[in-house]
């Protein structure tokens, strides 16, 4: 039996659809039948060639944000990471990375182990078990990736962004801390910013102000709980800073969170914060893109900054449970704005690269 995989063969080049034999899982691994895989911002970075440098002399399978059902279980895999029994056919959400357990990050208990992609990036799709990334009919899930059975009754399009976008937003806001009544500025209303808007509300924020350059995203942000929105394409940075200060009684926001991926957003965010405010950085994931900031303002403002990459194991089940509990309140299924058949993955990448779609998903 074989399955399709969309293979990356170099920046800017079309992904090539190839067939590979579906592997049998090792005793401590399992094979997932992928049902929905999303194009995340970092997939676009790789594809454009401005993400972390990856080899172009071997075929690779990109993609990491996905959901699927267990196709075949290794004989030692009987429970998920929360202790629930696993059976073939169960739908699961899982981490797309696995900490190595033997580096400075792992030693100190910090997520973001530099070896976390060792079974994915720079691994040839020609090498068994072939299905190393999300953009395939199957995904080979090794031990050390946290696995969780998903709640019944949620559509795939609500569950598929959990292992990247939603967990990232949830963990980031947990790390920066949101206190009851906080005024929170969310920069960017793509997938992460929309989740962050709802999560900040659920964490007790008194006022959530969400910024984006597209009016339709801001309308959606309101459905995700934004109390106020600001359109970046219709205002100057000075006007936005002044508006945030006016909405917060002149003091500025308690928390700002950057999900735009634009280095220039950082300076604006620091100026929106109150004295002692906290700034979460998530969107600018690629080193080498510089921003101008006013460090004196941050020192005199006694501001805290925290960069966050990936998350801890407890985050996925909490994210799944949040969707289950609050799906009547927030339109989680609308974060996926477009669903495209997997065979048309190059059209899907072109659509995602335009930047207007919130998230494009591939239906396997």
| Binding mask of the shown chain, residues 106 to 135, with x at each position contacting Zn ion by CB under 5 A | x------x-x--------------------
Taking the alpha carbons of 198, 275, 176, 291 in that order, is the dihedral positive or negative? Answer: positive
Residue with tokens 């799906």: 327
Q: Per rule CB under 5 A, is residue 362 in the interface with Zn ion?
A: no
- Cβ atoms of 359 and 157 closer than 8 Å: no
| Binding mask of the shown chain, residues 55 to 84, with x at each position contacting Zn ion by CB under 5 A | ----------x-------------------
**Three-state secondary structure call for residue 74:** coil
Closest separation between CB of residue 246 and Zn ion, Å? 35
Closest separation between CB of residue 96 and Zn ion, Å? 8
| Binding mask of the shown chain, residues 156 to 175, with x at each position contacting Zn ion by CB under 5 A | --------x-----------
DSSP state of 50: -
Helices in 86-190 by DSSP H: which ranges? 104-107, 156-159, 167-176
Nearer to Zn ion, 102 or 299 (CB): 102
d(CA 68, CA 304): 39
**Three-state secondary structure call for residue 336:** coil
One residue of 22, 40, 77, 256 binding Zn ion per CB under 5 A: 40
- Cis bond upstream, residue 345 (ω within 30): no
Nearer to Zn ion, 31 or 40 (CB): 40
Binding residue count for Zn ion, defined by CB under 5 A: 10
Strand 65-73 versus strand 16-21 pairing type = unpaired
d(CA 148, CA 84): 8
Closest separation between CB of residue 297 and Zn ion, Å? 31
Q: Per rule CB under 5 A, is residue 100 in the interface with Zn ion?
A: yes
One residue of 9, 58, 103, 293 binding Zn ion per CB under 5 A: 103
Closest CA to 239 of 261, 280, 283, 272: 272
Closest separation between CB of residue 163 and Zn ion, Å? 8
Rule CB under 5 A: which residues touch Zn ion?
Answer: 40, 42, 65, 99-100, 103, 106, 113, 115, 164
């Amino acid at each position: 039996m074989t399955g399709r995989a969309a293979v990356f063969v170099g920046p800017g080049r079309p992904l090539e659809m190839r067939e590979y034999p579906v592997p049998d899982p090792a005793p401590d691994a399992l094979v997932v039948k992928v049902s929905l895989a999303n194009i995340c911002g970092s997939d676009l970075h790789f594809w454009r060639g401005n993400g972390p440098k990856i080899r172009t002399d071997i075929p690779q399978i990109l993609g990491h944000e996905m959901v699927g059902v267990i196709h075949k279980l290794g004989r030692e895999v009987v429970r998920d990471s929360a202790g629930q029994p696993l059976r073939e056919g169960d739908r699961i959400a899982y981490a797309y990375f696995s900490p190595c357990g033997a580096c400075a990050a792992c030693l100190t208990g910090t997520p973001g182990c530099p070896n976390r992609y060792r079974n994915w990036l720079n691994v040839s799709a020609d090498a068994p078990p072939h299905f190393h990334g999300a953009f395939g009919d199957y995904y080979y899930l090794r031990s050390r990736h946290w696995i969780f059975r998903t709640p019944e009754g949620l559509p795939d399009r609500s569950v598929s962004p959990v292992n990247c976008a939603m967990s990232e937003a949830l963990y980031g806001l947990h790390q920066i801390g949101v206190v009851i009544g906080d005024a929170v500025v969310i920069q960017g209303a793509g997938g992460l910013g929309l989740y962050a808007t709802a999560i900040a509300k659920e964490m007790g924020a008194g006022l959530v102000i969400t910024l984006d350059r597209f009016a339709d995203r801001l309308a959606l942000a309101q459905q995700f709980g934004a109390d106020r929105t600001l359109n970046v394409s219709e205002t100057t940075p000075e006007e936005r800073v002044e508006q945030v200060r006016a909405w917060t009684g002149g003091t500025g926001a308690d928390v700002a969170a950057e999900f735009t991926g634009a280095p220039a957003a950082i300076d604006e965010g620091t100026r929106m914060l109150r004295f002692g405010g906290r700034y979460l950085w998530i969107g600018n994931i690629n080193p080498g893109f510089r921003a101008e900031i006013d460090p004196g303002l941050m020192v005199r403002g006694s501001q805290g900054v925290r960069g966050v990459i990936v998350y801890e194991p407890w985050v996925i089940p909490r994210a799944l449970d949040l969707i289950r509990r609050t799906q009547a309140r927030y339109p989680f299924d609308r974060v996926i704005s477009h669903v495209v058949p997997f065979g048309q993955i190059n059209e899907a990448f072109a659509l995602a690269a335009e930047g207007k779609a919130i998230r494009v998903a591939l239906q396997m």
